[in-house]
């Protein structure tokens, strides 16, 4: 039996994934702020800002999603994009 996924369900799943990532990020910030290492507590925000702006790290992050960006850019049918969203988010790999 085939299951029809609505756009609302797709958006709901994407929001759940975003919520999970935000929770993970907040937990990491709390761990860093509560670290027993004084230097870590004092410098984690500036260290994070440097890492996030690192061109190589940005490239790695973008390259992981490149197949999805390429597919969305190249596909002519919006229904195909919605179908891609139905299968996403994946567990670490592009569909």
Q: Is the pTM of this model over 0.75?
A: no
21-31 pLDDT, tens per residue? 899 999 998 98
Q: Structural domain boundaries of the chain? A: 7-87
pLDDT tens digit string along 54-65? Answer: 999 889 988 988
Q: Which residues of the chain have pLDDT under 50?
A: 1-2, 93-95
Distance CA 82, CA 33 (A): 40
What is residue 64's predicted lDDT score, i.e. its pLDDT?
A: 85
C-alpha 16/C-alpha 8 separation (Å) is 12
Question: Exposed, middle or buried: residue 44 (CB in 10 Å: 0-12, 13-18, 19+)?
Answer: middle
The residue written with tokens 């929001």 in the block is 15
**What is the spatial distance between Cα 25 and Cα 69, in angstroms, rounded to a whole number?**
24
């Amino acid at each position: 039996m085939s299951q029809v996924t609505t756009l609302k369900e797709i958006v709901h799943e994407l929001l759940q994934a975003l919520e999970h990532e935000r929770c993970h990020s907040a937990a990491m910030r709390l761990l860093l702020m509560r670290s027993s290492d004084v230097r870590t507590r004092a410098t984690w925000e500036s260290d994070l800002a440097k890492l996030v702006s690192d061109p190589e790290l940005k490239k790695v992050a973008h390259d992981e999603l490149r197949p999805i960006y390429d597919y969305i850019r190249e596909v002519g049918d919006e229904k195909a994009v919605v179908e891609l969203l139905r299968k996403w988010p994946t567990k670490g790999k592009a569909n």
